[in-house]
A = this chain, B = another copy of it.
Amino acid sequence: MTPRGPASAAGAQVGADPGARAAPRRQERGRRRAESILDAAEAAIDEIGYDGVTTNLIATRAGISPGSLYQYFANKQAIAEALATRYLRYLDRHGGSGDVAVASGAHGAAGRARGEILPAGLATRPTAEIIDWVVDPVIELNVAHPAAKALLAGSNVSPELAHATRALHAAICDPVDALIAAIAPQRAADACHLAANVSFQIFTGVLPGIVAAAPTERPAVIRELKAALCGYWETLRPAAGQPAAE
């Protein structure tokens, strides 16, 4: 209301509530602010999409002013990058794909980590089991954080956003690439890359439907996705008796 003097009403009571927090620790509080900004951005992106989301809206949702937001994130893209690394950590903590090629940093991860870091013997398991191992953690991530799919659907987004999420892409694609190379040893490396990319695109294509589905119907959608991937990967395996000629 008053042009400048935001603490005229609320600020007068600050400090009168010391029992709420034992040791607020200023930088600790700042880190919490950044997290709450990411939470607000996550919810907003999930509802409106990255392009449609406004920094002012994120700030309002987080209960802060636009100026405060820019004390924690240099610009809108930085928020997306922070979300991407947050999801990367999520995949790192949980099992499945993501804990393979994440490792150190963003770039350079594509090309290393081909097979040896995968769980021993995973490639010899039934195809359905391999797919569970790859797919389940990423679905879990997207159900818990529905905005993740906005960062994973790399196509039809601005190039800056694509750059911000390259590491996230690689963390999912690289293990898939390695797995395909393991179960389809007759395929050339290029063909394995192609199959991994197509598999990833199939996954991200169905993802929004999975996240949007009602919890009771979600398993059915996931089952369809896995059936498709399973049917696809089965065709990648070398033919039993005769090598494929055509």
B228 touches A198 (CB 8 A): yes
Taking the closest CB of chain B, its distance from the CB of A229, in whole angstroms, is 7
In the complex, chain A residues 179-222 whose Cβ is within 8 Å of any chain B Cβ? 191, 194-195, 197-199, 201-206, 208-209, 220-221
Interface pair A232/B221, CB less than 8 Å apart: no
Question: Nearest chain B CB to A187's CB is how many angstroms away?
Answer: 11
Q: How far is the CA of A235 from the CA of B233 in the complex (A)?
A: 13
* Alpha-carbon distance between A241 and B243 when the two chains are bound, in angstroms: 28
Interface majority SS (helix, strand, loop, mixed), chain A: helix
Q: Which residues of B contact A106 (CB under 8 A)?
A: none
Nearest CB of B to A68, in Å:
28
Judged by a CB distance under 8 angstroms, whether A40 is at the interface is no
Whether the Cβ atoms of B221 and A228 lie closer than 8 Å is no
Among residues of B, the one whose C-beta sits closest to the C-beta of A158 is B52
A209 neighbours in B (Cβ, 8 Å): 155, 197-198, 201
Tell whether A156 is near chain B: CB-to-CB under 8 Å.
Answer: yes
Q: Mark A142-164, 1 if CB is under 8 A from B, else 0.
A: 00000001100101111000000
| Complex Cα spacing A203 to B198, Å | 10
Q: In the bound complex, do residue A208 and residue B155 qualify as a contact, i.e. CB atoms below 8 Å apart?
A: yes
What residues of B have a CB within 8 angstroms of the CB of A236 in the complex?
Answer: 227
Instruction: Count the copies.
Output: 2
Give the interface centre of A204, A205, A208, A236 by most chain B CB atoms within 10 Å.
A205
Give the chain B neighbours of A197 by CB distance below 8 A.
209
Residues of B within 8 A of A208 (CB): 155-156, 201
Those of A103-128 within 8 Å (CB) of chain B: none
Minimum CB–CB distance for A50 against chain B, Å:
9
A231 CB within 8 Å of chain B: yes
Do A204 and B205 form a contact, CB below 8 Å, given A221-B194, A231-B230, A235-B230? Answer: yes
**Chain B, Cβ-Cβ closest to A232:** B228
A202–B231 alpha-carbon span in the complex (Å): 13
Chain B residues with CB below 8 A from A234, complex form: 231
List the B side residues contacting A49 at CB < 8 Å: 156-158
The contact sample of 19 A-B pairs, CB cut-off 8 A, is A51-B51, A51-B52, A150-B156, A155-B208, A191-B220, A195-B224, A197-B209, A198-B209, A199-B228, A202-B202, A204-B205, A224-B232, A227-B235, A228-B228, A228-B229, A228-B231, A231-B232, A231-B234, A232-B232
